[in-house]
Chains A and B, each alone.
Chain A
Amino acid sequence: MTVEISINNRKYRVPKDITVLEACHKAGFEIPTLCRDKHHEKPFTSCFICLVEIQGAPRFAPACGTKVREGLVIKVESEKIFNARKTGLELLLSDHNADCKPPCHWKCPAHADVQGYVNAIANSDFRTSIEILRKRIPLPGTLGRVCPHPCETDCRRNYVDRPVSIRNLKRFVADWDLENGPFLPEVKPETGKKIAIVGGGPAGISCAYYLRQEGHEITIYEQMPALGGMLRYGIPEYRLPKAQLQKEIDAIISMGIKVKTGHRLGREFSLDELEKEYDAVFLSIGAWKSKGLMLEGEDHPSVIGGIDFLREVALGKPSRLGERVVVVGGGNTAIDAARTALRMSSRSTILYRRTKAEMPAEAYEIEEAAEEGVEFIFLAAPVAMVVENGVLKGMKCLRMELGEADESGRRRPQPIEGSEFLLEADAVIKAIGQDIEKGIISEEKVDQTKWGTVKVQMPIYKTNRSKVFAGGDLVKGPSLVVDAVYMGRKASEAITCMLNDEAFPNIMDIVSTRRSVDESLFVDVEKVERVEPEYLPARVRKTNFSEVDLGFTEDDAVNEAKRCMSCGCQDVYECKLKLYMNDYQADPRRFQGATHDHKVDDSHPYILREPNKCVKCGKCVEICDRYRGISVYGFAGRGFDATVAPTLNKPLADSDCISCGDCVSVCPVGALTEKIPLEKPGPFPAKVTPSVCTRCSVGCMINIETVNDRFYRITPRSNLWNGVHMCETGRFDLGWTNDPGRFHTPLVKGEDGFREASWEEAVSPMAAKIRETPMIILRPTCTNEEAYIAREMARKLKGEIYLIVDDHETCDGLYPVLGNSGSTITFEDIEKQDQIMIYNTDLVNRFSVVGVKVRDAALKGRSVTVVGDKPHRIKGAKVLKNTGCGFLEGLIATAAREQLISGHAYDLISHSEQEILNRLSMLSREAIEELSGSGYEELAKIARTLSTENGVIIFGMSTKEEARRIALFKQITNVQLIVLKRGSNSQGISDLDIPRITLSELDALSRKNIFMLGYPPEDFRRPETCRFLAMQATVEPPPYADMVLPRSVNYENEGTVVTTDRRLCKLGRSLSIRKQNWEILADLARALDIGMDITDLREVTDRLLPELKFNRDDRNL
């Protein structure tokens, strides 16, 4: 049945009974929604972001809750709709009292992902750290040394104790990278576009670095003999060693960047020439001219510009300074000059017209200079140079006092009349600022401001010349290195847009921020002392140019990074609210007014609840109630104070939560997030590997997310059979996989217990043992491929192979009757069954996702009977308390009495089953009631519906006799079965014709060399007659084994498994650091020299596939 509707004036035919939202999605219209997704049966219609116009309706309609009907005329896009959605988002954001990103990110002029790279260091994941860092900071080793770190000023740790030492962390990871890498980003395929960069300082290098990644051909023109600009010629060696800088620049140049040193604009080439030869030009020639003092005698050769002085020192051409040097100025250059001068003469004095408090230089640098012995004269200014007989004697100075504040907010110095004095000096360094060399630029016809900086169009940094961009000090005047780096990147983006003929995406990332932050928020945060690096002692360092700051050790860095409070939102990459606020350009600050400030609920072991981020969509309330039957969450309060919270607003840990994580899956924002099993959560961009969960036989479809070979989290693949549902074990029991205690190498037992051995040392002796009377034991966690290789090995060696399962009784009961132990339908088919019987199985605490499927079926009107007293939480289920063989026999007897048995069924069952059936067929109604403990009419109803309608019995881990009766019932009535097993692949291994064995049967066998694949059963003991026992383990080696091989878990393996509902699924290998189990077997086979050379797992899969019996092949999902 379909209906015709119109969306935005186009007609569509859609199925009836769907919502407008679904119809619009089918027609390709994106409609934002926070409170609705396909995993909910009923719309909750709370967010009203999906609103649309319906012709004739007096109001907007929420698309999610409005059903289509014939002739419906819908408008989904208009200015009115856009504005309504935007306002809705702004209203939500007006009480979204939380940060998308941390303050350090915003304060960093380059907007580096500080939290990301610092958190990665805390996780000892330096590789991830440097990758994140390099995205915004191409010269991290340099900035890690010289940046005045504005990020630390805004670090929230300031409210607790002292800021995280972000700068030193950056330096640490950059130095680590140069030693172990460097890890540079990929360069895209060559575009054939050529770009010239004029000036190889930080802005130019940054621009070159980002443009090169795009695949453009880059040439840097540099007037000096080497690249680096002010970094090389303006920052002294003791702060930034030239060798370190060179390594960092070399790494970038190695990406394929051409360099022409000794090339000066206006001398060797002109802009006109570059414009002809190149597709774009980036100008970044810096500000190299020392400002003059405008005083008499300033032209004396002993009066030197600060930046000129530093450059000459860097070039190895030191000026002759004499005994006493006076540096005029209070900025970083003044400090650099004074400290450099101190290393070259006996006295170095800084003369500054204000006080220490007003000095623009960084406080720690002033401190370091003072420690070294630099003298300071405050509140004085020079009025003239005193030159006698051509020799500089000093400066005539005036004392100053501070008057009214000027525009910069600093108090203006005013001369004190009659306070003149003479300051003796053999040399004067004027470090009061730098200017741009105006002439060079004006000759090239580039527009300038009155200060000589280049005029650019923001934010694309384009000059008046069409192909010419500019950045760095040339544009902003003397400023921070990190500013230059930022401008280089922005210009690179603009240049790439121009070259690709695209518009520059001039959209700011809109984010939510907390309304107020003060100490009270952090009263519970433990104070941890900030780690300080070692410094060269002042008396040593003032004698040479060795680097003063010795940087962090690895331990220092990790400990310091752990101080980060990870203020940014864990959900920032996924949050729908953030996505929509950017799509709709919603202003989070449009509505100012009351906001809530709830406490973060950190009580739960796996789930973090941040109520300030909640949008009251109600999804968590519904999913928990509907699919888990629990109702952990509910609405509380009214009006603006309405909240969603656990019952009685208790901590989540004190609720009935079963840790399934469904609520986290559906939360559209960061109000409910999973705790990451790492020291710090990032958030990091993770690698996603689709796979199947093998923690039990149910086989939920999952995505494994990893960051640089560490587990990050597991999420359900929500478009597949299990939807957003998983269980606690599958979803959260992960932390141990990142355990550093897991061993990588084989352990061989010697006289003093186990010792680590190489693979070669282990495999050959093992092969020698296994060759004779071998017995291979498989555990159900093994993949089909492992089992197949092991079986072939055993066959060639004429040895034995067995499977030990933990629930063999069920199998023992089913096999003799059915010939297999398999389910006849998949979990997805449950909802298609009219009658569902759960036989004595706990679908709440075990196999909980199967419970979800049954609950869903019940809500869709299917009839559910629960047999036994195990918890079920299924609304409307019929419950029969009696279980056991008697009940099942009663059911069979009833089926016989009610003539529900098909005619030829009798011929299909074995003699012994025929005997049971015969016996039961004779029973009277009364006898049946006595046997089963249930009323006859009730039994008759169940037997009838199970056998004549679509019926299924779901059960697992039963006794042998119970399983046998269920199998018999199945054989005579054609009811469907779902058998729930514990071991993840016991189905697949059984299909491969590997016999099962119990532990006691194993004990009865004698004198063997045993190799067990997979973890041993809990009550496993070494058989007395066992001569050699090789086993597998992850963390704890079993003490009774002779040899232990590290076992890779299934997140680390390739291969296939068959789930208990007989779906063939493929494992995704998410981590690549460990040897896979099948590779160990292949090595062993090779060492055995039995003609098995296995190199390609796919061949193994192809070979075993015909033996498997599955309901469905899900390998390509």
Chain B
Amino acid sequence: MSRTIVRIGYASCGIAAGAKDVLSVVERRMKKGSRKVQLQKTGCIGICFDEPIVEVINDLGQWTYRKVDPARMERIYDEHVLGGVPVYEWTVGELSTDGKKAEKPVFEHQRRIALRNTGVIDPESIEAYLERQGYKALEKVIREMNPDSVIKEIMDSGLRGRGGAGFPTGLKWSFCKKAAGDKKYLICNADEGDPGAFMDRNLLEGDPHSVLEGMIIAAHTIGASEGYIYCRAEYPLAIRRLKIAIEQAREKGYLGDSILGTDLSFDIRLKEGAGAFVCGEETALIASIEGERGMPRIRPPFPAEAGLWGKPTNNNNVETYANIPWIILMGAKEFQKFGIKSSRGTKVFSLAGKINRGGLVEVPMGTTLRRIIFEIGGGIPGDRKFKAVQLGGPSGGCIPTHLLDTPVDYESIMAHGAIMGSGGMVVMDENTCMVEIARYFLSFTQNESCGKCTFCRVGTLRMLEILERITRGDGRESDIDELKDLAELIRTSSLCGLGQGAPNPVLTTLKYFENEYHAHIVEKKCPAGACRELTTFIIDEEACRACGLCRKACPSDAIEGKPGVKHVIVQDRCIKCGSCREVCPFDAVGTG
């Protein structure tokens, strides 16, 4: 029998779920074993909800195991790695009819371009990247193309900025290429900061070379000699793997002077951001690289004319760069096959919140929200109803049930008041209070405001205070108008996207769920039962089977009852955490 590969998902998602212990099992067993087993660490393959993930690959095929713990690993090692028989019960997905082969329905509707290598290769090995046509696109650009033809190819592909705003990438490059200047800079924005978003993180952890290659192609195209990757310091693994990748690329001559023997000189520095959300805004990011406080400045002039140190600067997001080598190699036409007219290609989303299969997905543009959430993401846990999905992070907005068939493309999402953003998707169920959600996102932006613009610095706090009093039950009839007034002014009187987008969660929840606001303000009730001050939990006598789960779950001993005796909540002691409702298998806990 030839070599067997054991591949362990070793991105942040895997490590967090316990991949390290699984890894040590394999390492220990390998020392003892005499068989030819190769261990590979790889990035996130997207099914984060099932981490730790282990894949076993041999001549017979590839098998993916979910939720592997050290004990499971021992058995997989014994039976599959050594014995050659897969442990079917732990493989991903449903068993096929013959009962022998596992499928991964998660990937059925996905198409992986940006994530083509993530979860497949060892991100710390440039050889692994090279094996999968790595740096071939760069060679093609240098040997067969000129900057204009590169720009034309990118323009033809229809690639738009994946950081959120959706500006055509080819056009952006052409501006910077045309800008006069003896020195030009290139920036890769890896300051991903939206709550619930981890696309860039997993991409950098899983396939750093794709990003580097995209950057080098861009540098060659616009004539930049220096590049910066601005990555938040909270991503230590991504930073470590980027450093390794940069060093490897330098050794191989893809970075530095005379790249591939030409007169192209380009090098990349890594700048660690200190965790200010606003530094994802490009002018603030530039100020931060320059050593100033990360505060946005007015545009124009745009960075393409006067950016870093006042020089022409091109700035793209991680995912945008990762798409570039694929487009160059496969051609604009191939890319155009995915997506719809105004939005071509694929988009990576991170699925989070009240969803069965949270994780990283990459789908063709134009896929409907319903398909992403229900078919790929597996819908909502329990029997609860879907309520809304938040797109675009704290600057985005929520989209309600009746718009679930909206295709994900820049324009369609914008039309409903949300934004594509960088790809965060937070799913909410019927137990989520939309006023509370708006309050949560606004408190995030308020805390992250750089404090420069009056409306953003003070205005968002005043909105937040209104939302706080509504969720407390102290709302006033005039509050909704006040919120709308302030939201409009903050949106129209702030310098950067953080301020301009800050009111969006409030505006979209008001648009689709104004009745929830009214319930809080007028009836002093939280329909979702999430706002503590407004909620009373009650056990339905009919439905209660006296199973005692709620009594055990209650952290404040507020539930009285015995086996066989219907349970009752003692309201004086109840702290309204909702644990009883979460655990009740009979849906007997309701709110009043």
Residue numbers of A with Cβ under 8 A of B are 43-49, 51, 58-60, 62, 65-67, 84, 87-88, 91-92, 94-95, 591, 593-594, 615-616, 618, 634-635, 637-643
The residue in chain B whose Cβ has the minimal distance to the Cβ of A58 is: B492
Q: Given A48-B455, A92-B454, A593-B461: A43 and B493 within 8 A (CB)?
A: no
Interface centre among B451, B486, B492 (most CB of A within 10 A): B451
A618 to B495, CA, bound (A): 15
Of the stretches B29-37, B291-299, B579-587, the one at the interface is: B291-299
A374 to B487, CA, bound (A): 67
Residues of B within 8 A of A594 (CB): 461, 465
Beta-carbon contacts under 8 Å, B471-529 to A: 485-486, 489, 491-495, 500
Cβ of B276 within 8 Å of any chain A Cβ, yes or no, is: yes
Cβ of B446 within 8 Å of any chain A Cβ, yes or no, is: yes
Q: Is the CB of A59 within 8 A of B493?
A: yes
Q: Is the CB of B451 within 8 A of A84?
A: no
A635 to B495, CA, bound (A): 17
Residues of A within 8 A of B457 (CB): 616, 639-640, 642
Q: Is the CB of B455 within 8 A of A638?
A: no
Residues of A within 8 A of B375 (CB): none
Residues of A within 8 A of B278 (CB): 638
Q: Given A47-B454, A48-B453, A91-B459: A638 and B448 within 8 A (CB)?
A: yes
Q: Given A92-B458, A593-B462, A639-B457: A43 and B298 within 8 A (CB)?
A: yes
Q: Is the CB of B493 within 8 A of A84?
A: yes
Cβ of B450 within 8 Å of any chain A Cβ, yes or no, is: yes
Q: Is the CB of B298 within 8 A of A45?
A: yes
Cβ of B447 within 8 Å of any chain A Cβ, yes or no, is: yes
Q: Count how many chain B residues have C-beta atoms less than 8 Å from C-beta atoms of the other chain.
A: 33
Q: Is the CB of A87 within 8 A of B486?
A: yes
A60 to B447, CA, bound (A): 24
Residues of A within 8 A of B382 (CB): none
Closest Cβ of chain B to A216, distance in Å, is 46
What is the interface of chain A mostly: helix, strand, loop, or mixed? loop
A897 to B462, CA, bound (A): 72
Q: Is the CB of A91 within 8 A of B455?
A: yes
Closest Cβ of chain B to A605, distance in Å, is 29
Contacts A/B (CB < 8 Å), 7 sampled: A44-B452, A87-B486, A593-B465, A594-B461, A616-B457, A635-B451, A642-B451
Q: Is the CB of A67 within 8 A of B300?
A: yes
A49 to B491, CA, bound (A): 15
- Residue in A44, A47, A88, A640 whose beta carbon sits within 8 Å of that of B461 in the complex: A640
The residue in chain A whose Cβ has the minimal distance to the Cβ of B449 is: A639
Closest Cβ of chain A to B487, distance in Å, is 12
Residue numbers of B with Cβ under 8 A of A are 276, 278, 293, 295, 297-298, 300, 446-455, 457-462, 465, 485-486, 489, 491-495, 500
Closest Cβ of chain A to B191, distance in Å, is 15
* The 6 nearest A-B residue pairs measured at CB: A642-B451, A65-B298, A91-B458, A593-B465, A640-B461, A59-B492
Q: Is the CB of A91 within 8 A of B454?
A: yes
Q: Is the CB of B447 within 8 A of A638?
A: yes
Residues of B within 8 A of A92 (CB): 454, 458
Q: Is the CB of A94 within 8 A of B458?
A: yes
- Residue in A46, A59, A637 whose beta carbon sits within 8 Å of that of B491 in the complex: A59
Closest Cβ of chain B to A978, distance in Å, is 29
What is the interface of chain B mostly: helix, strand, loop, or mixed? helix
A58 to B450, CA, bound (A): 22
Q: Given A51-B493, A91-B462, A616-B457: A638 and B450 within 8 A (CB)?
A: yes
Q: Is the CB of A66 within 8 A of B298?
A: yes
A71 to B233, CA, bound (A): 46
Residues of B within 8 A of A65 (CB): 298
Residues of A within 8 A of B492 (CB): 58-60, 84
Closest Cβ of chain A to B323, distance in Å, is 28
Q: Is the CB of A618 within 8 A of B452?
A: yes
Q: Is the CB of A634 within 8 A of B298?
A: no
- Using A594-B461, A639-B457 as known contacts, list a sample of 17 further A-B pairs with CB atoms less than 8 Å apart, ordered by residue number in A: A45-B298, A47-B454, A62-B495, A84-B493, A87-B485, A87-B489, A91-B454, A94-B458, A95-B458, A615-B454, A616-B451, A634-B293, A635-B295, A638-B278, A639-B447, A639-B451, A640-B458
Q: Is the CB of B448 within 8 A of A639?
A: yes
Q: Given A48-B455, A94-B462: A640 and B446 within 8 A (CB)?
A: yes
Q: Is the CB of B493 within 8 A of A48?
A: yes
A92 to B298, CA, bound (A): 21
Closest Cβ of chain B to A44, distance in Å, is 8
A49 to B298, CA, bound (A): 15
A594 to B468, CA, bound (A): 12
Closest Cβ of chain A to B444, distance in Å, is 10
The residue in chain B whose Cβ has the minimal distance to the Cβ of A615 is: B454
Interface centre among A45, A62, A87 (most CB of B within 10 A): A87
The residue in chain B whose Cβ has the minimal distance to the Cβ of A34 is: B454
Residues of B within 8 A of A47 (CB): 454
Residues of B within 8 A of A45 (CB): 297-298, 452-453, 495
Closest Cβ of chain B to A750, distance in Å, is 67
- Residue in A58, A88, A635, A641 whose beta carbon sits within 8 Å of that of B455 in the complex: A88
Residues of B within 8 A of A46 (CB): 452-454
Q: Is the CB of A84 within 8 A of B489?
A: yes
- Residue in A88, A635, A639 whose beta carbon sits within 8 Å of that of B454 in the complex: A88
Q: Is the CB of B465 within 8 A of A60?
A: no
A423 to B167, CA, bound (A): 97
Closest Cβ of chain A to B320, distance in Å, is 24
Residues of B within 8 A of A95 (CB): 458
A642 to B447, CA, bound (A): 10
Q: Is the CB of A591 within 8 A of B451?
A: no
Residues of B within 8 A of A642 (CB): 449-452, 457
A171 to B461, CA, bound (A): 49
Closest Cβ of chain B to A46, distance in Å, is 5
A43 to B300, CA, bound (A): 12
Q: Is the CB of A49 within 8 A of B300?
A: no
Residues of B within 8 A of A616 (CB): 451-452, 454, 457
A634 to B461, CA, bound (A): 22
A117 to B183, CA, bound (A): 64
- Residue in B298, B452, B493 whose beta carbon sits within 8 Å of that of A88 in the complex: B493
- Residue in A59, A66, A637 whose beta carbon sits within 8 Å of that of B451 in the complex: A637
The residue in chain B whose Cβ has the minimal distance to the Cβ of A88 is: B454
A616 to B455, CA, bound (A): 12
Residues of A within 8 A of B486 (CB): 87
Q: Is the CB of A639 within 8 A of B493?
A: no
Interface centre among A44, A48, A65 (most CB of B within 10 A): A48
A95 to B455, CA, bound (A): 12
A95 to B211, CA, bound (A): 45
A1020 to B492, CA, bound (A): 69
Residues of A within 8 A of B297 (CB): 45
The residue in chain A whose Cβ has the minimal distance to the Cβ of B466 is: A593
Residues of B within 8 A of A88 (CB): 454-455, 489, 493
Closest Cβ of chain A to B199, distance in Å, is 24
The residue in chain B whose Cβ has the minimal distance to the Cβ of A69 is: B300
A675 to B505, CA, bound (A): 47
The residue in chain B whose Cβ has the minimal distance to the Cβ of A61 is: B298
Residues of B within 8 A of A637 (CB): 451
A47 to B451, CA, bound (A): 10
Closest Cβ of chain A to B499, distance in Å, is 9
Closest Cβ of chain B to A78, distance in Å, is 13
Q: Is the CB of A49 within 8 A of B454?
A: yes
Residues of B within 8 A of A593 (CB): 461-462, 465
A1023 to B515, CA, bound (A): 97
Residues of A within 8 A of B485 (CB): 87
Q: Is the CB of A591 within 8 A of B295?
A: no
The residue in chain A whose Cβ has the minimal distance to the Cβ of B459 is: A91
Closest Cβ of chain A to B74, distance in Å, is 48
Interface centre among B295, B446, B459 (most CB of A within 10 A): B459
Closest Cβ of chain B to A108, distance in Å, is 32
Q: Is the CB of B454 within 8 A of A48?
A: yes
Residues of A within 8 A of B448 (CB): 638-639
Q: Is the CB of A638 within 8 A of B452?
A: no
Residues of A within 8 A of B494 (CB): 48
